[in-house]
Amino acid sequence: MQGGATEKATLQYHQKHYDLAFFSVRMDRPVHILSFNDGVKRSDQVFELGRDEKSFLRISHGVVKILNPNLLERYHYMHVHSADPHPDYGIGGPLIDFGGKIMGMVNGNTSGSFIPSSILVKCLHLWRKFGCIPRPQLGMKFWSIKFVDIALAENILCKCNIDDGLIVKEVSYGSPAEKLGILVGDVINCFNGERISTTVELENMLLSKCEDENNSLNSEVNVKLDVFHIRKSRWSDRTLTVKVSDDNEVVATGVSYPFGDGTP
C-alpha cells in the first residue's frame, strides 16, 4: 500500500480459470473509484504499474500486442511489448493509458501478458451478481486467423476461402465438440450468430452469455457454432451443450495438423 503501509486482507473469492481473486480490505480513508478503458487495441501505448518489496511505485512503458496463446497461456491474454521483461515489482498491478484509465491487469504466468479490462469488468459484474464467475467450458482451444503466420493464413485462404475466424487448435477427448465431429484444424467464424475474430472477443462473448442468461455453476448452456470442416471442405451448423463452471478448463492436446506439420 501507499507509504509502505500494510493492511490485512480477507479473500472473498478466487476464480481459478482467470486466476483472479477478490479481497476485502478495511480502509480508513475514502477510496477513489477507478475508471476503465475497455477498448484495448493493438499498438496502444500503456504504462505498467507495480510496487517493489519496499512498496515504492515502479512504472514501465510498453505497446499492446495481440498474439495467439502459447501452451502456457489462456486465450484471454493480451501482451505488452517493451515493458520490463524482468520487473523488480510484484505482479497483479494495473496497466493504464495516458488518461489514467485501467486497460488491464498484469498477469504473472508468462512474461508481458495481461488480462484486458473488458474481461475484468465482466468478471466483476458476474461476481457481484452471482457471487462467482461462471464460464461456459467449450472443451476447445483456438488460434485467431488474424495472428497466424502469413504463409499459413494464405494456405487457409487458398484451401478454404476463409480469411477470418478461429482455428480449432485442440479438442478435448470425449467433449461435446468432439462428439459433434469438430476436429483440430476446423475453423469457427460465428458463435451464437456473432462473428468472432479473436480469442479475446470469444471470451467476452462467453461471459456476456452467462450474465444475460443468468447461468449458474454446474448448469448447461447451448452455444451455436458455424463450423468449416476442412477435411470435408464444407460448412455446418453445430450446437454445443456445455457445462458452466468457475474451475480451470483443461483441454487435451491435439495431435493432427491439417495445414502441415507444426501448424494447429
In tens, the pLDDT along 187-209 reads 999 999 999 999 999 999 999 98
pLDDT on residue 11: 94
Q: What backbone torsions phi and psi does residue 199 show, to the nearest 5 degrees?
A: -70, -30
Q: Work out the number of other CB atoms within 10 angstroms of the CB of residue 173.
A: 9
Residue 99: CB atoms within 10 A of its CB come to 7
Identify residue 98 by its one-letter amino acid code.
F
Residue 126 C-alpha from the chain's centroid: 16
pLDDT higher for 66 or 260? 66
Tell me the C-alpha distance between 207 and 191, whole Å: 13
Q: How far apart are CA 113 and CA 65, in angstroms?
A: 9
pLDDT digits (tens, 9 = 90+) for 60-114: 888 888 777 766 667 788 888 865 666 666 667 888 999 889 999 888 666 678 8
Mean pLDDT of the chain: 85
How high is the pLDDT of residue 262?
45
The full set of domains in the chain, from first to last, is 2-26+34-130 (2.40.10.10), 135-245 (2.30.42.10)
Residue 2, pLDDT score: 60
Question: Residue 264 above 50 pLDDT?
Answer: no
Tens digits of per-residue pLDDT, 213-222?
A: 877 788 899 9
pLDDT at 88: 67
Q: What is the C-alpha separation between 230 and 156, in angstroms, rounded?
A: 9
To 5 degrees, how large is the angle CA 143–CA 148–CA 152? 115
At residue 87, the pLDDT reads 64
Q: Which three cell numbers stand for residue 128?
A: 457481484
Average the pLDDT over each of 14-18, 191-195, 225-229, 251-255 and give the range with the smallest value: 251-255
Output the pLDDT for position 72: 62
Answer whether residue 261 shows pLDDT above 60: no
- Burial of 132 per CB tally in 10 Å (0-12, 13-18, 19+): middle
